[in-house]
Structure 1
Amino acid sequence: MAEPQDPERDPRWDAVRAAARRRVPTPPGLVERVLRAVARGRRTAVDVPGESGGLSVTENVVARLASAIAAERAPDGVLVSAVAVEDDAVQVLVSVRFGVAADAAAEALRQRITAELSRQLGVAATVNVHVVDVHPG
């Protein structure tokens, strides 16, 4: 039986070792974008007052809550594509089925999300619903 070759001496690894020695530059702006994303995820979006103290809710939590509400309460023919907190408002991107009145459907969803966020958080939130696509029936 042949002895297994030591992987450290395998010449096929020479190219890998050479690549590992080369410095790979960080793409311009990458660090700043990552730091902004991390800070955004931790930024307080809502301060909820309570009887025994306050509660600070992060943007990420508000976005997740709004996303769940949007998926649950979307009118027929409306598909929620994305939900985020940007510019101090909940931004909801949706597509509507061909034939659905886009403005009316977006307004209905906006009202439903606004009411439910207000009920669950105890404070009013600004919600914008943007129709970004139309899909076939």
Structure 2
Amino acid sequence: MAETADPERDPRWDAVRAAARRRVPTPPGLVERVLRAVARGGRTAVDVPGEAGRLRVTGDVVTRLARTIAAARAPDGVRVSAVAAEDDAVEVLVSVRFGVVADRAAEALRRAVTAELGRQLGTTMAVNVHVVDVHRERD
């Protein structure tokens, strides 16, 4: 088996280190959204249309379903870190392997999760995929 170079010795890794040293401001409204979700106790629900009326699916169920779909559909080099359903959107946090084009991988995962959630729930939900980390392949 050919030995692979340590990606941390790659000069491009310096850009990752520099980004990690920068302070990232809290996105506007994040604290308020988290506090609302905590106060609500995870009661976010999705109404799923059906022939006999509407079915109400809890946010916990949507989260579990989305997590399962995201893990199964994640492109090579993408690890799903966390999934949460909030109001009318699903938030997916991922880590990408060093060298993977992050925006393409995130968009591919977003499309896949959106399509499968739509197929299984019969309704469209916004899916947001956030790249929150870079990892190197484990030995």
Letter in 1 for 2:68: A
Query: Using the alignment, how far apart are the partners of 1:40 and 1:116 within structure 2?
Result: 26
Separation in structure 1 between the aligned mates of residue 91 and residue 37 of structure 2, nearest angstrom: 18
**Correspondence for 1:52:** 52
Query: TM-score, normalised on structure 1?
Result: 0.70
Q: CA deviation at 1:35?
A: 9.4
Give the match for residue 42 of structure 1: 43
- 1:135, 1:36 → 2: CA distance? 30
What stretches of structure 2 of length at least 5 have no aligned partner?
1-33
2:75 aligned with 1:82: no
Map 1:1-137; keep pairs closer than 5 Å. 37=38, 39-44=40-45, 46-137=46-137
Give the Cα–Cα distance (whole angstroms) in 2 for the partners of residues 36 and 135 of structure 1: 30
Q: Is the 8 A contact 1:95 1:131 kept in 2?
A: yes
Structure showing greater Rg: 1
- Over the residues paired in the alignment, what is the CA RMSD in angstroms? 1.9
Paired with 1:92 and 1:36, the residues of 2 have a C-alpha distance of 16
- Secondary structure of the residue aligned to 1:116 is helix
Indicate the percent of aligned positions where both proteins have the same amino acid.
67
Quote the Cα distance in structure 2 between the aligned partners of 1:35 and 1:124.
23
Report how many residues are paired.
Answer: 104
